[in-house]
Amino acid sequence: MRWNCGVATLVWVFGAAAAVLKPMRQHMFGDVAAAEMHALDMPNAWDAEALFPANIHRAATQALESWITAQDAFSRKHIINNFASSSDGNGDARAGAICASPSRKHPDYYYAWTRDSALVVLEVIAWLDNNKLDYMLKDELKQRLDDYVEFTRHLQGLKNLKYGLGEAKFHMDGTAFRAPWCNAQTDGPALRARAILAYAQYVIKQANGDTTRAHELFSLVRTDLDYVTKVWMHPGNCDIWEESRGMHFYTLLVQKTALEEGARMAHTLDVDNGVAHVYERAAQEIAHKLPEFWD
């Protein structure tokens, strides 16, 4: 019995890990790169259905699916709650700010990290494509996304930031975090560009091809991607874990994906001044750099 419970737990863990990692990779790196990485998750020798008895696998799968359904609703609720809104009456947070955690001590994570916020927005945008989503909830989510866009505009306009757009986090009221931190973290602007690009694509689809709003959004994207083209090759940027400096495979891959998506949107919107070419060239240069991470 103990062995059976242990095996069921293993099946649950493998399934949960796959369920969590696959969408996370899609948000960070795009569908193609994520598919390549997901293919490496579990060799055939670790195929759950082949490895475990059918009754154990079936019971574990049912338990996992039940947990995922409950956890999905719980997580979505708390993700939305982490958006500051103009209707919240929260005087210490600017509308559109997304806290990494509501915890303010032990640990204090009540800040708006550029990276974390962008990943949350990419997830929320994916919800909007769900035709079963209540219209009132969709309207609420779109308002939260519009608030995020304006919060981004505010952050991009802040002056006298030591690391510019590479600042990793901000106070929830939209003011700069001035204490010592591992900066610059240049994956943040790339991920934020991807988030706003995803919203622009959604807006175009909903507007039956009208690109007026998408052009407004792309102006924010350009600010972030123009920055990325200038800093991606710097060897002293901070890594995602905020512990070491150098050139990081993850950061470069995120930047390459953002530049490629930005170039495609530039073509879609028929943006002038060779913007798409600049982004495409930078993405190609990063692509040539990536093989250096393999021995």
Q: What is the mean pLDDT of each run of 10 residues along the chain (295 residues)?
A: 40 46 58 54 49 69 87 89 76 92 92 97 92 82 96 96 96 95 96 98 91 96 98 93 93 98 96 90 97 91
Angle (CA) 35 39 43, round 5°:
170
Give the predicted TM-score (pTM) of the model: 0.79
Phi and psi angles of residue 208, each rounded to the nearest 5 degrees, phi first:
55, 40
pLDDT score for 60: 76
Residue 210, class by beta-carbon neighbours within 10 Å (0-12 exposed, 13-18 middle, 19+ buried)?
A: exposed
**Cα distance between the two ends of the chain:** 45
Other CB atoms within a 10 A radius of the CB of residue 199 amount to 25
pLDDT score for 163: 94
Whole-angstrom CA distances from 250 to 98, 184, 239 are 23, 15, 8
| Structure tokens belonging to residue 131 | 């035709």
Amino acid symbol at 172: M
Residue 16, class by beta-carbon neighbours within 10 Å (0-12 exposed, 13-18 middle, 19+ buried)?
A: middle
pLDDT score for 11: 39
DSSP β-ladder status, 245-246 and 169-171: unpaired
Question: For residues 143-173, b (16+ Cβ closer than 10 Å) or e, as one string?
Answer: bbbebbbebbebbbeeeebeebbbbbbbbbe
Angle (CA) 88 93 97, round 5°:
95
Token look-up 């242990």 returns: 6
Q: How distant is the alpha carbon of residue 223 from its chain centre?
A: 18
Alpha-carbon distance of 141 to 118, in angstroms, equals: 15
| Structure tokens belonging to residue 103 | 């915890």
48 closest CA partner among 15, 3, 2, 5: 15
Q: Is residue 225 within 8 Å of 258, Cβ to Cβ?
A: yes
Residues with catalytic annotation?
239, 242
